[in-house]
Amino acid sequence: MEDNPALYLAKGGLRSVGERKRTRDVVLPATKHGSHDASETVLEKRPRTKRRASQRNQSQKDAPEGSIPWTDALQELEKAHKALNLVYTFCSSRKHVITTFDTLRPAVESHIKRKLSIEDVAQMIALRPDALKFEYTNELMLQLNIKGAQRDDVFKSSLSAMAQTPAHDASVGGWTGHEQLGEDANDQAAISGREVLYLEFIDADLKRQVLDKETGEATRPTQKLRNEKLTLPVYGQKQMMQLIERRNQKFANSINLFLKKCMHDGQDPGKVLHEMAEAYIPKLMLQDAGVTKRTASAIPDVIPHERKSISEILLQLKESPWYSGQIVPDGHRVFEPQKPNYGSLNFLLSQDLVNALYNAKQITQFYSHQAEALNKLHEGQNIVISTSTSSGKSLIYQLPVLHALERDINSRALYIFPTKALAQDQKRSLNDILAFMPNLSHVLVETFDGDTPMSLRDAIREEAKIIFTNPDMLHLTILPQEQRWRTFLKHLRFVVVDELHYYNGQLGSHVAFIMRRLRRICAAVGNRHVQFISCSATVANPKEHFKLIFGVSSVCLIDYDGSPSGRKEFLCWNTPFKEPGDPASGRGNTKFECARLFCALLLRGVRIIAFCRIRAHCEALTNAIKQELRELGRPECTNLIMGYRGGYTAQDRRKIEAEMFEGKLFGIVATTALELGIDIGTLDCVLTWGFPYTIANLRQQSGRAGRRTKDSLSILVGDSFPTDQHYMNNPEELFSKPNCELRVDLDDILIREGHIQCAAYEMPIRQDEDMQFFGHDLPRICQERLVKDELGFFHCHDRFRPNPAQYVAIRDAEDEHFAIVDITNGKNEVLEELEASRATFTIYDGAIFLHQGNTYLIRDFLPDQGMAKVERVNVEWTTMQRDFTDIDPVEIEAIRTIAGSSCHAYYGGIKILQNVFGFFKIDKRWRIIDAVQVDNPPVIRYSKGMWIDIPRQVLDILRDLQLNAAAAIHAAEHVIMSLLPAFVISLPGDSVL
């Protein structure tokens, strides 16, 4: 036991803060190398001052005036808490100490002069449930820090060793013990590992510090220096003492509140505390796996087939022990159900079509907006429909095509969707109707996209009457091959562009010119009667946006929604402060708040989707939800949730969509890839992690719930960012603000010239005739950029040949990808493909890679082969890269004056240098447990961006105020980025700040 650092402290006479003793023990700061060793700890004894000696009972003195006298048992409990707090805080600052109950108990017992029982700790948790974690854990999961040479012996003796011994492999920052194994092996490891009782304070944590090079003292860093050696953080004595004091004070306050409640209820405090503590007595995992304090809540033992109403479920959430007023004032809105409003057609449908609508969709009448749209289309007008999600918009562009084919079998239709998944979903829906129309059984409906085999493309082009495609294929393949597609384009009757709001910013500008090229070719082959149909989410300017995209002057807007909707409740749910009532402590971890809320709803039978802004959040939240389910004793439910994001293979995404549609999944964690209208069945709740860039995005996401007439729920969980907190403080703006306008820039000379070159390649340009498609200054561009022949026609410039469309990228799609290959247990399966631009910060030797919330260790990164080999591990930590990015302007292309300032904003070419020089291992409470240095070459790329020069006088003011200039400029950058969504709608990646 001499090797136990906690016991060593006890022998040295370590005393609790505020205890009535003649001496006070002070733990000196960390050594120069940033870590403590028990043998190096110095205990300095100093005489107590009179002020300290006069404090007969610190807790009683700090208690509020008029507080109830404490019982002897509570005074003893507080004394034990102080000792446990002190010993734990010291041990937790040491990398090699695992804070198990057996490790901490000797030092605490030496201090309090009695046995420390499990029930003592359970009573502490009963008084402060959110302050302590106390549970049995497999000791193999706690082995983190033993040196590589000792690792094998540690694993061999793990059944008898103390619960300390992590073993990281310095060569990869990884593992060579049981942790490297996959699911089956981990199950076996769990059986062989001893269960230890792990104790952890979770109400607060020591902040990262580094040693000051001049003074040698621990200090908070303002930034990570590139030439600074990557080491573990150190912790200062003052910081530890302040944390101990705060915990002690909070525990004393909890005792006072507990006594007041007991007196008010006329109950015996001792008996009540004993009964409360029983729920927090830890149980062995193998005896009662995963049972925790939260199983005592109103969560059903089995997910119900029929959930309760949303109102009843919200009442249960508010009664949960972890609810502390997260719903912000005026942040709970209820939208009452809406009854359907029907309309009638001005023309007759065939009996075959009427029967098919009923048999496939159970449709017997049309909603008012459907009837109006169908009537306008029958009159030959272009239309744009801007109604709510699940209002039956797809029927509006399905029925006219089928009706036209009945009258003219040579009719053609082109359906354009932004994603392959959405195209496949709508193709399936259309085929469902066609299956009940024997008179159109010979009609071929096909998909024509990048996945279509070359051997099938000719047949599809010649025989298909309805083709599902995307803007990319129209741009790269269909329009450049006009001669091959001439028959199809000559008989083209309808062009359907779904999700019109998606085509915004640069992508919208590209699509606008693609549509003009399509209209130009159709007109050239004698087809001037193409009708355009488009559906959009609710935006401010759908009609104007339609005209810009298609270049037409006549369009009918349908924006009245006649479809029914169920009762819908909307919540603004703010992540609580780390320390209740103390804004200075900052907001807690929004990921854990979302995970807890997600699980509470899912286990009550609520089918839920959570939206995340970025892929990393999607995986992190999926992982946190699975951990939460295990802690709630419901590990069987982890198979009911899945992530959905870009990067997954097409097969995996189709499987997830099918399982959600069939009701096999109860929850999905997704990026904005599922904002679009893919039918994944009925959802009861949408949970949004953080404000999703624009109010329009939020409303689009919220519309995914309640796609029938059932009641539904939408929750916006506020993050700590300024925009999030603005809407948490002003929730009425989410409901009252109008949607932002969609914007398309047709004057972007680079985009415009690129498509004019493409058009000239497809068919020589005639200046007078083609100005209607490309603008009145087309003659100037033709003279400067194109090649004129002897007949006066203009052709594509030679530098764009032989295929100009390949030189005009309409999206920021990357050709270079890295395959993430799972080699667990001898497998060689591709998990997903990662874009090269993401690889720098995601795949490096020793990193933890998340896929479907599961943790994989990157064993081998092979950039030359375009792959990374990963192995499934079962660890409760992840990695966070340490990197820096340099952005330097290289060419000014535009200058704008900033109103009310002498400064200017610049736009032009920029050089971006990115380098990952190491990584931290981070536990699930976001604490650093290890630091690993890596030597990666920098990645350099060039792009376009905007920048603002900081005036010299601003830098002088910052210096005079002794403020860090770099930190202030970085903060200003984030302010601008946070404000951008309020003024500009564009796709992520359109610009660089």
User: Cβ neighbours of residue 982 under 8 Å, at least 6 residues apart?
Assistant: 723
Q: What region, left, alpha or beta, does residue 230 occupy, with left being phi > 0 and alpha being psi -120 to 50 degrees?
A: beta
Alpha-carbon distance values, 193 to 139, 283, 400, 876 (Å):
6, 16, 66, 16
Question: What value does the mean pLDDT take over residues 508-524?
Answer: 96
| CA gap 751, 744 in Å, rounded | 11
Residue 912: what residue type?
I
How far, in Å, CA of 748 to CA of 767, rounded?
Answer: 20
Structure confidence by residue, pLDDT tens digits, 526-575: 999 999 999 988 788 999 999 999 999 999 999 999 999 899 999 999 99
Output 653 or 520, whichever has higher pLDDT: 520
Q: Which of 913, 982, 989, 978 is nearest to 944 (CA)?
A: 989
Residue 822 CB-density burial (10 A; 0-12 exposed, 13-18 middle, 19+ buried): buried
Q: What is the DSSP string of 9-39?
A: HHHTT---TT---SEEEEEPPP-TTS---GG
Q: What is the mean pLDDT of residues 7-17?
A: 41
- Helix boundaries (H) for 63-150: 72-92, 101-112, 118-127
CA distances from 310 to 303, 316, 607 (A): 15, 10, 12
| DSSP code string of 257-309 | HHHHHHHHHT--HHHHHHHHHHTT----TTTSTT--GGGGSS--SS--SS---
Asked if pLDDT for residue 215 goes beyond 60, the answer is no
Q: If DSSP codes are grouped into helix, strand and coil, which group holds residue 428?
A: helix
Alpha carbon distance 399, 667 (integer Å):
33
pLDDT for 738 beyond 80? yes
Question: How many Å apart are CA 748 and CA 894, to the nearest integer?
Answer: 13
H/E element, 501: none
Dihedral over Cα of 693, 694, 695, 701: its sign: negative
Residue 493 has pLDDT above 90, yes or no: yes
Q: Is the pLDDT of residue 48 over 70?
A: no
In whole angstroms, what is the distance from residue 658 CA to residue 680 CA? 7
Q: Are strands 342-343 and 383-386 parallel, antiparallel or unpaired?
A: unpaired
Q: Please provide the average confidence, as pLDDT, over all residues in the chain.
A: 81
Q: For residue 476, what is the DSSP state?
A: I
Q: Rg of the chain's alpha carbons, rounded to an integer?
A: 33
| Count of Cβ atoms closer than 10 Å to residue 286 Cβ | 11
Residue type, 446: E
d(CA 571, CA 323): 14
Q: In which band, very low, low, confident or very high, does the pLDDT at 178 lie, cut at 50, 70 and 90?
A: very low
Please tell me the least confidently modeled range out of 24-28, 132-136, 342-346, 794-798. Answer: 24-28
pLDDT band for position 227 (cuts 50, 70, 90):
very low
Distances (CA, A) of 353 to 220, 358, 361: 72, 9, 12
Return d(Cα 466, Cα 401) in angstroms, integer: 9
Question: Using CA atoms, how far apart are residues 377 and 379, in angstroms rounded to an integer?
Answer: 5
Residue 965 CA to residue 982 CA, distance in Å, equals 27
pTM of the prediction?
Answer: 0.72
Backbone angles phi, psi at 597, to 5 degrees: -70, -45
Give the span between the Cα atoms of 489 and 527, in whole angstroms.
8
Cβ burial of 335 (10 Å; 0-12, 13-18, 19+) is middle
- 489 pLDDT exceeds 90? yes
Q: How many CA atoms lie within 13 A of 46 on its CB side?
A: 10
Q: Which secondary-structure segment (H or E) carries 140? A: none
Contact 774, 800 (CB under 8 A): no
Give Cβ neighbours of residue 226 (< 8 Å, ≥ 6 apart). 884, 915, 917
Residue 64's pLDDT is what?
A: 46
- Which neighbouring-strand residues pair with 167? 146
The answer to whether the Cα torsion of 963, 965, 966, 968 is positive or negative is positive
**Contact call for residues 553 and 381 (beta carbons, < 8 A):** no
Q: Which amino acid is at 499?
A: E
Work out the number of other CB atoms within 10 angstroms of the CB of residue 470: 21
856/843 Cα distance (integer angstroms): 11
Q: How many CA atoms lie within 13 A of 886 on its CB side?
A: 10
**Dihedral pair phi/psi, residue 825, rounded to 5°:** 55, 35
Please work out, in degrees rounded to the nearest 5, the angle formed at the alpha carbon of residue 625 by the alpha carbons of 619 and 629. Answer: 150
| pLDDT tens string 435-462 | 999 999 999 999 999 889 999 999 999 9
pLDDT in tens, 350-372: 999 999 999 999 999 999 999 99
| Model confidence at 408: pLDDT above 70 | yes
Judge contact between 565 and 376, C-beta under 8 A: no
Q: How high is the pLDDT of residue 231? A: 54
Task: Summarize the chain as % helix, strand, coil (round to 5).
Answer: 40, 20, 40
Instruction: Please classify residue 902 by burial: count the beta carbons closer than 10 Å to its beta carbon, then call 0-12 exposed, 13-18 middle and 19+ buried.
Output: exposed
Which H/E stretch holds residue 788? Answer: strand 787-788
List, for residues 849-890, the tens digit of each pLDDT value: 999 989 999 998 888 788 899 999 988 788 988 888 889 999
Tell whether the model's pLDDT for residue 924 goes beyond 50.
yes
Give every CB contact of residue 793 below 8 A, 6+ residues apart in sequence: 764, 765, 766
- What is the identity of the amino acid at 74? L
Structural domains of the chain, with CATH:
71-149+194-206+236-281 (no CATH), 342-558 (3.40.50.300), 568-736 (3.40.50.300), 749-807 (no CATH), 817-949 (no CATH), 952-992 (no CATH)
Name the residue among 553, 590, 595, 592 with its Cα closest to residue 574.
590
Q: Are strands 854-862 and 867-872 parallel, antiparallel or unpaired?
A: antiparallel
* 738 C-beta neighbours (distance < 10 Å), count: 10
Per-residue confidence (pLDDT) for residue 658, from 0 to 100 = 82
2 φ/ψ sector (left φ>0, alpha ψ -120 to 50, else beta)? alpha
Assess whether pLDDT exceeds 50 at residue 464. yes
* Mean pLDDT computed over 77-91: 92
Strands (E), 312-371: 327-335, 342-343, 366-367
Please tell me whether the peptide bond between 802 and the residue prior to it is cis, using omega within 30 degrees of 0.
yes
Q: How far apart are CA 849 and CA 857, in angstroms?
A: 6
Confidence of residue 150 (pLDDT cuts 50, 70, 90): very low
Residue the block writes with tokens 């970085």 = 970
**Strands 412-416, 383-386: parallel, antiparallel or unpaired by DSSP?**
unpaired
| pLDDT for the residue numbered 395 | 96
DSSP codes joined into one string, 141-187: GG---B-GGGHHHHHHTTTTS-S---B-BTTTTB-SSGGGS-HHHHH
pLDDT band at 45 (very low <50, low <70, confident <90, very high): very low
In 3D space, the residue among 194, 189, 123, 184 whose CA is nearest the CA of residue 158 turns out to be 194
Confidence bin at 31 (pLDDT 50/70/90): very low
Distance CA 501, CA 744 (A): 11
Cβ count near 334 (within 10 Å): 11
User: Which amino acid, 71?
Assistant: T
